[in-house]
Structure 1
Amino acid sequence: MELNMPKYYGYWSLRFIDVQTQHLGDGFCQYATRTHLVNELPTQYYDDVRAEAEAVIPLITDKVEQLIALNFSSKLNRRDYGVGRANDRHKSHNFLFGLHRILAGALSSVPHIRDASVNLRPRVEAFWFLGGLPPDRLLRNLRKNCPGSKDLENDPIDRPIQGESTPFLSLRVFDCLPDVVSWDDPLATSASVPDNELDPRAYGYKFKHKHATTVAGFWPGEPREHSQLWLHSREFIPKVALEFGEKRAKGALLQKVVGASFTQALAHATYLGFGPVTELTYPIVQQSAVSDGQRWNLSVFQLNTCALHSHYAKDNPRNNILWLSEEEELFESVDSGGVKGLNTSLLTSIIAMYMKKGVPRSNPTPYLGPIKQLSEHPACEEYRAEFQSYLHNLLSNRPRHFLKPEIYAWEKIFKVDHKTRPNEPPRRFFEKHYNQKHPGQRRLDEHKPIYVPKILRKDRRIRFKPKLNTQHLYQYD
């Protein structure tokens, strides 16, 4: 029996969504991802491509100005979306896609851009356990009333976190980006990270029962698995500024960039075989841009550690780093005379992100076995296809055919709070009986084996399908 088999009904996990920012949640967002913030871009990181990027500017200036005039001085769709975030998002996505087409066409001579893959609105999610969080009142009371855990009443706990990133466009290439700073740099070993002594619900974060889902925007086996650039829209920022003021809009942007960058990097790291036990052997770098077409924030994120559980909650030898630029405008205004004040310096920085060349790793997956793809597994073909279908269904987060058992209102009144049914046999999960087990502790492999009809058996002696196994995939034990 494998010890790392996930739960059958999923985890009661914190929803860490990049566009659902919380008031005063900046510090917790950095603590939950162990991220140190640097309020500027690492300009020396792009020294090798800046001259080439500046040479591209004269070739695309007219096309970029035409795109700006088309998107910001005319109506692109007969549908009237009205005033609001949907209209802003629609306009931002149109502009970002048009700008990407212009830049990709101008950089078609660059090998890694010519061979890159583009995904629109990819699904990116990551799951991790965050340690060092204080227990809630229910758990403290439970520990206090249990004789064996009275001394552990206020000990910190691990909280499952389900992160979600919502990029509009992702550009994937064959090689990963080089390190911004080395692991020996003080910025990666001893930089300050905000501490947290409050429950996440104190900041307004919500919990939901979900499967532990990690999706990097593509399925494992894709050769272009390393990200070159992520483009995000920022239509939610004006709403935050309107409700809480301009000062809080900056905090919302920070939460968006930190949450999205860490989720994207951790999802990719998980595909490479890294996790809370198998710590990173090299940094993973992500480039992102958050924009509505006119206002831009560029960022570079370096993932140095993905072990955030209780053992490394306070004394982790490394921390992650985010370089976030100040807000810049790509242009000043658009009128009948054309585009005014095109910011070529910002455009050069965006092109440099496209042109930054990756580096090949000698051993990018040190913890993965010789069989890295499902198609290479020695299991039978029908079992491999069944496992692929089961994995897709599990990661889709569709509800189970039989929902998780719950305590109904009448049971809470007549069975839990008031013992008014003494003659009824104890059969429910919250009642003490010989086979009592909480449904939250059920594992994915705790089910009856599936019967195979005689006519479908390849071996008459094997009457049941083998169970899913985390080590052997499928094996008759």
Structure 2
Amino acid sequence: MWTIRVPKRNVPRFFNRSITTVCVSRQESRAVYPPILDLKPEPTVLRQELNHHEKIRNIGTIEEKTIGINMPRYYGWQSLVVKDKILPYDFLPFAQTITKTKIYEVENLPNKLSDDDYQKFIDHIKPQLEDSLVFEFNRNSRGKEINPIHNTDESNPTNDLAKSVAEQVNRIFLANLAADYPHLYEAQIDYEPRVEGFWNVHGFAANKEDQELRKKKNVPEENLKDPVDRWIHYFGVPTVQVRHSLPLSSVPLDKFMLTSTPLSHSDDIPNIIHRQFDVPNYDFDPQIYHKLPYERRHGVSIPGFWPNDPQKFGLLSIHTNEYLVDRPPNFGELEHQEAVHAQAILASFAWLIGQASYQGFTICNEITYPLVNQSIITNGKTWSFYMYQLNTMRFFKSKDTINNNSVSPSNICWGTKTMELFHDVTDTQIVGWNDETLKNLLSCYVNTPKIRDHEMSPYLGKEQVVANIDDANKRIWLHEKHKVMVSHRPRHRLLPEVYDWERIYKIQFETRQFEARRRFFELDQDPLNERKLNDHYGAYIQRKDRDFGRRIRSKRFADTYYPNV
């Protein structure tokens, strides 16, 4: 047997004991381990939700945040539609629940001027108001004589009168006060703007459809009746809207707990409380109890103007309440007053979350400072005044450290009872002026906005709006995408539908077993809730417009610029 001997090589000993060093430091070091996560289904879903919210918070522009909120749904969210002048019976508890609002019914709004200054302005404005009101009421009475039939809401004489009076009152107050209060001269006036609000509310009772859906997802039996989230989409059209580049001052937290003692004119809160409405625990199904419809829509919040407008903060909005004419009289005056309160709460909340969204806040991320606005509801003769402070707008079930820094666990609304501006109108004059109503009107206009000493848009980047993006292709694409989304146009691919013959011969009775399974219900797919917003190709590029390079393959479809959420 042959053996091969390998000669020994002269290899120096580099790693002898004399030149070795200590690799581990003698100083004490502690290992950093990743956090221990709960792998149960519910905590896992909550972590994914918080991760999605964090991605939306880090988006730099207003329009991209709106697109990012709608990314999980190609066809939009199944939302409960609430409109400003459709107020069913006993609607106030529901309005308070979905907005987390505590309302105080007070005697007057906070006074901003002394009694002498009020009287001076009232004596100067009253003759001009008298001429305008006499003209509008007499013109409306002549219109009733010519055409006494009420066809639609648009041709309702009560609605037309209230709009005309609101516009005339706003014009007279602005013209007479702008010289002494420059913020009114700088303000922007909108007539019948489009206001939408979109938010999520947790805590509604699960209906049978929710329980069946949970059974399909293998949810444990004890969790089938847990509370569910509801998406709310509000649509409103105020008559007049006044806004400014600076926000109104907020009310300090120590003044939230109001007392029934009168307060001086220097305080920031109203005086003499009549009633207090705490936030109720309303968990009934609004589709059954209030007959509110569900519609699939993309979630957008629009405060009546576009994101690049410099006047982004609301001062005052005026609404009409002609719907009270058609409400049954057996509801009672107390229920009518609560309906007006509900209208003011919904209108103020939706307007403020639209303004907050234009400052970079979303329904996924809590606001870092309160926002305030004022609203008036009138039919031309009777007036109600409200001041609303938005302290929180994120009502999701999951909480984290960033979104726990809200100003208050609930929003606050101060409102007056319905009061008359005058008693009667003759052919030439007004009979029985109510100076308290005029004082409340003046207090709404002389409330001066001020500069805040904190960052107004902490969650926006340097661009803030899409118009400031340098990339022309991305800027144009995002601008067009945002316009299409807020227009609520139907998608390119229509909603999936199960035809009647398919429901009979394929779902209820399986009589076509040999056919190929290609439909979404045969493949256990849910396109309404599973298909995402970016689940499509870009615009097709014609062959003559493609870039045929030597080493670059030509693209058949244009790029898309959806946010990475």
TM-score computed with the length of structure 2 as normaliser: 0.77
Structural mapping, 1:45-124, within 5 Å: 45-47=110-112, 52-75=117-140, 80=146, 82-84=148-150, 85=153, 86-109=156-179, 110-124=181-195
- In the TM superposition, residue 293 of structure 1 has moved relative to its aligned partner by 1.1
- In the TM superposition, residue 18 of structure 1 has moved relative to its aligned partner by 1.8
AA in 1 matched with 2:97: Y
Match of 1:371 among 457, 463, 479: 463
| C-alpha contact 1:165 1:264 (8 A) present in aligned 2 | no
Structural mapping, 1:370-389, within 5 Å: 370-380=462-472, 382-389=473-480
| C-alpha contact 1:429 1:438 (8 A) present in aligned 2 | yes
Structural mapping, 1:152-301, within 5 Å: 152-182=223-253, 185-186=256-257, 192-201=278-287, 202-242=289-329, 244-301=331-388
- In the TM superposition, residue 431 of structure 1 has moved relative to its aligned partner by 0.9
Partner deviation per Cα, 1:348-386 (whole Å, 9 max, x = no partner): 211221111111123111111111122211222x44233
Rounded to whole Å, the distance in 2 between the matches of 1:145 and 1:275 is 31
Rounded to whole Å, the distance in 1 between the matches of 2:132 and 2:526 is 61
The change in CA–CA distance for 1:68 and 1:42 in structure 2 (over 3 A counts) is closer
SS of the equivalent of 1:340 reads: strand
Match of 1:133 among 204, 210, 215: 204
| C-alpha contact 2:477 2:560 (8 A) present in aligned 1 | no
Rounded to whole Å, the distance in 2 between the matches of 1:392 and 1:50 is 49
| C-alpha contact 1:126 1:215 (8 A) present in aligned 2 | yes
Please name the residue that 1:475 is paired with. Answer: none
| C-alpha contact 1:19 1:166 (8 A) present in aligned 2 | no
- After the TM superposition, which of the residue ranges 197-206 and 411-420 deviates more from structure 2? 197-206
SS of the equivalent of 1:73 reads: helix
| C-alpha contact 2:72 2:532 (8 A) present in aligned 1 | yes
Rounded to whole Å, the distance in 2 between the matches of 1:124 and 1:367 is 23
SS of the equivalent of 1:274 reads: coil
| C-alpha contact 1:11 1:211 (8 A) present in aligned 2 | yes
- After the TM superposition, which of the residue ranges 72-81 and 30-39 deviates more from structure 2? 72-81
| C-alpha contact 2:205 2:285 (8 A) present in aligned 1 | yes
Answer yes or no: is 1:445 the counterpart of 2:534: yes
Partner deviation per Cα, 1:313-351 (whole Å, 9 max, x = no partner): xx9851001111011100000124521111222112112
The change in CA–CA distance for 1:47 and 1:60 in structure 2 (over 3 A counts) is closer
Partner deviation per Cα, 1:131-175 (whole Å, 9 max, x = no partner): 011111122234346644323111111111101222011011111
Rounded to whole Å, the distance in 1 between the matches of 2:314 and 2:477 is 29
Q: Which has the larger radius of gyration?
A: 2
Rounded to whole Å, the distance in 2 between the matches of 1:67 and 1:34 is 39
TM-score computed with the length of structure 1 as normaliser: 0.90
Rounded to whole Å, the distance in 2 between the matches of 1:298 and 1:236 is 18
Please name the residue that 1:34 is paired with. Answer: 100
The change in CA–CA distance for 1:279 and 1:183 in structure 2 (over 3 A counts) is farther
Structural mapping, 1:272-421, within 5 Å: 272-311=359-398, 318-336=409-427, 338-361=429-452, 362-380=454-472, 382-421=473-512
AA in 1 matched with 2:245: F
The gaps in structure 2 that reach 5 residues or longer are 1-51, 56-67, 259-275
The gaps in structure 1 that reach 5 residues or longer are 473-477
AA in 2 matched with 1:364: M
Answer yes or no: is 1:7 the counterpart of 2:73: yes
The change in CA–CA distance for 1:144 and 1:428 in structure 2 (over 3 A counts) is closer
| C-alpha contact 1:49 1:356 (8 A) present in aligned 2 | no
Rounded to whole Å, the distance in 1 between the matches of 2:241 and 2:285 is 33
AA in 1 matched with 2:336: A
- In the TM superposition, residue 244 of structure 1 has moved relative to its aligned partner by 3.5
SS of the equivalent of 1:228 reads: strand
- After the TM superposition, which of the residue ranges 325-334 and 303-312 deviates more from structure 2? 303-312
Rounded to whole Å, the distance in 2 between the matches of 1:337 and 1:126 is 43
Rounded to whole Å, the distance in 2 between the matches of 1:184 and 1:93 is 35
- In the TM superposition, residue 46 of structure 1 has moved relative to its aligned partner by 3.1
* Fraction of identical pairs, as percent: 27
The change in CA–CA distance for 1:157 and 1:47 in structure 2 (over 3 A counts) is same
Answer yes or no: is 1:431 the counterpart of 2:522: yes
- After the TM superposition, which of the residue ranges 2-11 and 253-262 deviates more from structure 2? 2-11
Partner deviation per Cα, 1:94-129 (whole Å, 9 max, x = no partner): 111111111111012121111111111000001111
AA in 2 matched with 1:24: D
Rounded to whole Å, the distance in 2 between the matches of 1:373 and 1:459 is 34
- In the TM superposition, residue 212 of structure 1 has moved relative to its aligned partner by 1.0
